[in-house]
A and B are shown apart, each in its own frame.
Chain A
Amino acid sequence: MAEAAIPVQATPAQEQAPPGAIERPDFEIVPRAGLPIVAVILGLLIAGIATNKPWPLQFLHIVGGATWTVIDLFLGFVIGPILGRLSVPARIELTTRLMPKMVLIMPTAVIVTLAAGWQLGVKLGTVQSSYVLHGWLVASYIVVGVMAVIALGLLEPANIAVLTELKKKRPNPEVIERLMKRFVYSAGITGLMQIATFVIMTRIAAG
């Protein structure tokens, strides 16, 4: 794997690196190997909506939702705080390996959860305003809406921008730091919103 050097202040952990530089693994901003997997998942989503059967829709909605929720919580409350305390080289190592995967996983998980969930709601009649727990459904729309605006406006752009910065011949550590902070704080907020999702979804499931 090709590597490049980023000029930053050396730490004791970088004894083997050239003075004033750290090693940076080569990586793809969008991992091309993952694209066929995304295509298959989106194909399953289209098939699920087309057949309109409860089991495939439940499967897609629950698996997609679990993936989305767990990743948001894990990033926001576990990885995020850890990332902030790592040395710069370790942070770059983790970032270049983790964040390209997020570029594919998160939008896929979100679209599968929402599209399958909507279709399921239409089929079961739970999206109708006459549904007894309609207020909770509307609350879930609002929570998802807030998460979507944060994810699309802050999280996703920061993710792509930090990876693009790391791809440059001479990445600017200050830019990376700033974008990573934005990513971690946004992930924390969406993590908190996911707790609200838990409350709403368990209430709806309880009937």
Chain B
Amino acid sequence: MAEESYLSDDFLRQLINVGEVDILVGLPTHNNAKTIGSIVQTIQSGILRGFPRERAVIINADGGSRDGTPELVTGGSIDDVRPASNLYALRTLHAISTKYASSPASEVAFRTILAAAELLRAKACVVMSPESANIEPEWLSKLLRPIYRDGFDLVTPTYRRHKLEGLLITNLLYPMTRALYGLRIREAYSLEFGFSGRLGSQFLEQNVWTDGTEGSGVELRFTLAAITARYRICQSFLGEKDHIERRAADLVPALRQTVGALFSALDPDFPVWSAVEGSQPVAGTGANQEVLLTPVRVNRKRLREMFSTGVAELESVFQSILSPSTLTELQRIARTGKEEEFDYPAELWVRTVYEFAASYQKSVISRDHIIQALAPLFRGRMFTFLMENRDASANDVENNIEGLCLEFERLKPYLLQLWKSRE
């Protein structure tokens, strides 16, 4: 089988020694020495509490760490957990590590984890993120139990977030995947999720793997693959989402991972999403979406500036992507003088996104450039959302998001029309 050639001999040998497992925990890392020690302990705790009799393994796929992260993962013994938490380990818990590349590529890391899961015939698997320093041992049960005990194939997380965080999810990813694919999966792109061995094997075989240097958003593709192949999916509330420091420059890579992956999936998935109407809720465990309301400082002015600058400077680019009416509207908004009058309404945003999606499909210009061009427009949308919700309660925010979702669903025929038109 061709895909096994990217597993090193040493890793293969370690896998042989582990043998068959029931539970597999995948942990992709890159220079996470500061947080990885406690995360591994938490994972071990979680396994001992939730699955004391099951055979389990931690697979660390490392992207060329230089701070000793792999050693920290494999060095911690399961028995270190005992004095701290009074838990007893019946079995040996293996923690093995492999360096899949000299620089991080989440796609290759994921592929390595899937290959290990298949070779070890794991029944239930979970991927954890080394950046979430606030994970609890129960998170493992929450992500694994639906698969191990209840027969689900994919468990996506839901979090308690600040009402203004994760706008890319609430204003684009969630409404669009919901409208197109018909399932109300809140976090279709997530770094922590559970999946069955069945789903993992199929994805391993059928996905078109690249070398992942572009950050192709395999996490989102995985969710979409599960949806289109009609696997059983549910959501599980984990806890508070750890706030990760991000800079303005991180928006474009984030767009690539998420929106880029979504747009490129639309063409092959066309038979599926074109036939879907409306959306269905997804089975969920744990508390429903919770929202934090603590005040947070936001540099709104810069958002608005970057939107206006973007609209002005990228006119030539937008002319290839957007319809003339949409572009005119955007230019009008960009010229708004006062902050209070600035409004990037939902309908216009949906049209913008759909026109981008259609242009992406037709590759009117380089696809990566299309994604980059979306960034300033998204910032404008962020601004409007912030203004609308700065004093809103948790309920109001949810209602606003729901309203946006319905708008996406309502305008779906417009996307279909765009899709077929330029052909």
Co-assembled chains A and B: no
